């Protein structure tokens, strides 16, 4: 079973989508199986990360900003702004899809785990996700 999810991001950062994905799993009524989440963009990604302490997400974002800075003179793909090529690199280093087991009708995430859409562009925008839930 496939559902599409469209959401807007207001800019760079980790945007938690755990509840929205969990609601889709609940709606589809699959008790045991796998939920695959796929982002249809090259400047955003997905990750499973700690959802309890925002400092963990801030540290991760800061580390990535240092690893892949904006305005590097080696970038040639600059027509869409100084944040575009770094966004592509960050998406390449992370994930565009995640697979999460479904156990007893719920996502089998650990106690402190959440699913996040990671927006890599400064201005954000509309992002499309495809969610496949199968038994």
Q: How far apart (Å, rounded) are the C-alpha atoms in residues 101 and 108?
A: 5
Beta strands of 10-112 (E only): which ranges?
13-16, 33-39, 44-50, 97-103, 106-107
Which position has the token pair 């944040």? 83
CB 35 within 8 A of CB 99: yes
- Using DSSP, state whether 21 is helix, strand or coil: helix
**What pLDDT, on a 0 to 100 scale, did the predictor assign at position 42?**
95
Residues of the chain with pLDDT under 70: none
**What pLDDT, on a 0 to 100 scale, did the predictor assign at position 135?**
82
Which position has the token pair 């008790």? 31
The predicted model scores a pTM of 0.95
CATH code, domain with 104 = 2.60.120.460
State the total domains in the chain: 1
Residue 11, domain extent: 2-134
Q: How far apart (Å, rounded) are the C-alpha atoms in residues 104 and 67?
A: 40
């Amino acid at each position: 079973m496939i559902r599409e999810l469209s959401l807007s991001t207001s800019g760079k950062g980790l945007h938690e989508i755990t509840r929205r994905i969990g609601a889709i799993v609940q709606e589809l009524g699959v008790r045991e199986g796998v939920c695959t989440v796929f982002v249809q963009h090259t400047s955003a990604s997905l990750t499973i990360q700690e959802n309890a302490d925002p400092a963990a997400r801030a540290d991760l974002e800061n580390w990535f900003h240092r690893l892949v800075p904006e305005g590097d003179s080696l970038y040639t793909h600059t027509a869409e702004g100084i944040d575009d090529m770094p966004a592509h690199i960050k998406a390449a280093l992370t994930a565009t899809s995640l697979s999460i087991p479904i156990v007893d009708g719920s996502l089998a995430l650990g106690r402190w785990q959440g699913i996040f859409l990671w927006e890599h562009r400064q201005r954000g925008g509309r992002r499309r996700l495809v969610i496949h839930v199968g038994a």
